[in-house]
Amino acid sequence: MFPNLQSEDPEVYASVMAEVNRQQHDLELIASENHASLAVMEAMGSPLTNKYAEGLPGARYYGGCENVDVVENLARARARKLFMVEGCDIGVNVQPHSGASANAAVFLALLKPGDTFLGLDLSHGGHLTHGSPVNSSGRLYRPVHYHVRPDGWLDMDEVRAVALAERPKLIVCGASAYPRIIDFAAFKAIADEVGALLMADIAHIAGLVAVGLHPSPFPHCDVVTTTTHKTLRGPRGGLILAKRDQMKAMNSAVFPGSQGGPLMHVIAAKAVAFNEALQPSFRSYQEQVLANAKAMAARLVARGHSLVSGGTDNHLMLIDLSEHPLSGKDGELLLGKAGITVNKNTVPGERRSPMVTSGVRVGTPAMTTRGMGVAESEQIADWIADLLASPEDADVHARVRAGVSALCAAFPLYGGAHGAGPSA
């Protein structure tokens, strides 16, 4: 693997191979991560990285764009096909380098400095770019926030009350750590009531939306942003979808508003991933992601764990450790040592600091890509419960670490269901 890198730069090669091995031998349960196919990664590693192509296909600021134009048009057409709903014409910009860049561009297009917008509080499952004071969204604009109720479900009464009181220019729905269905129609009714535009950030649930396993944000939303690497299983990157009347503003907010040259190798990889997502097998994959999450959540609850909102309707769950002696940080370290990779996460009513937290976020997209199903999900939930119950027990740790290694060996990356290729 990577012979040129190996001979030219052994240090970087060694780290890359160490990461390949980590991904092969550990269990990835970070809800925002996935394993992209070999075809996606080949496109990302292609010479398209060498090309400047500022502008849009057919209207570039550089010569020699005839091939990358084809690629970007393929990506745009495929994304449109994935997310279009009947009777709602949408446009697509595939150039955002990330979800954060996509969100920054949308704000630049729709808001003026100091304008009020309404989004979900970060510590209640929102995202940094939805108005955190340490992010440009919180520094350039005036964010106001809604929350989840103590039971972990979105508080739509509060959304309406804050919207009526603050009259935001834009309402942002979508989350980074919310295990339930987002009711885009209800957000639209509130947006209409206060004369606000409506944006959805579907970064986490895009793969589910693409196959109809989560309701579409269209026709309710004016603009939709997403990343392309989470449930959508493409390359690391961002995407903006918008109703036609918003597209001109979106395009110029991406370039020249907030980015320079697009990453054409990544756009090629997005095109490949969108095509994969248009295949019937992608729907089966997403169905399995949901079945695995439900099975894992049910087993964790059966083992006495409290989950935020009591369970999950999507690809992720939040284990609530508020009443547990271990913090989210402890949980992340403990599971990590046994080869189960998760991330600490704040929970509603959080009493610990954001660097410590009282929650662990767990997601099934990556393990499902390896071909694991409900039986494996239940086994993994048991291992998580065993570790959290006996954090100091070396025998439990050794047993789980051995089980994780055996499971990963039985479901090799790039070995079967998801793209043929050399096992790492």
Rounded Cα distance between 395 and 171, Å, is 50
Report which residue's Cβ sits closest to ligand DSN. 32
Residue 99, interface with ligand DSN (CB under 6 A)? Answer: yes
Residue 32, interface with ligand DSN (CB under 6 A)? Answer: yes
* Least Å from the CB of residue 175 to ligand DSN: 9
**DSSP designation for 88:** B
* Least Å from the CB of residue 315 to ligand DSN: 11
In 138-257, the DSSP E strands lie at 142-146, 170-173, 197-201, 223-227, 238-243
Residue 23, interface with ligand DSN (CB under 6 A)? Answer: no
Please, which of residues 156-215 interact with ligand DSN by CB under 6 A? 176
CB nearer ligand DSN, residue 99 or residue 237: 99
* Least Å from the CB of residue 362 to ligand DSN: 12
In sequence order, what are the residues at sequence separation of 6 or more whose Cβ sits closer than 8 angstroms to the Cβ of residue 67? 48
CB nearer ligand DSN, residue 31 or residue 197: 31
* Least Å from the CB of residue 177 to ligand DSN: 7
Rounded Cα distance between 202 and 277, Å, is 16
CB nearer ligand DSN, residue 32 or residue 95: 32
Please, which of residues 114-133 interact with ligand DSN by CB under 6 A? 127
Residues 53 and 72 sit within 8 Å (Cβ to Cβ): yes
**For residue 215, cis peptide bond before it (omega within 30 degrees of 0):** no
**DSSP designation for 303:** T
| Alpha helix positions (H), 141-263 | 156-166, 184-194, 206-210, 244-252
* Least Å from the CB of residue 361 to ligand DSN: 8
Which of 39, 23, 19 is CA-nearest to residue 366?
23
CB nearer ligand DSN, residue 48 or residue 240: 240
How many residues in the shown chain lie near ligand DSN by CB under 6 A?
4
Joined tokens for residue 76:
């745009």
Catalytic residues: 52, 54, 201, 227, 230, 236
Joined tokens for residue 190:
């509130």
Residue ranges in contact with ligand DSN by CB under 6 A: 32, 99, 127, 176
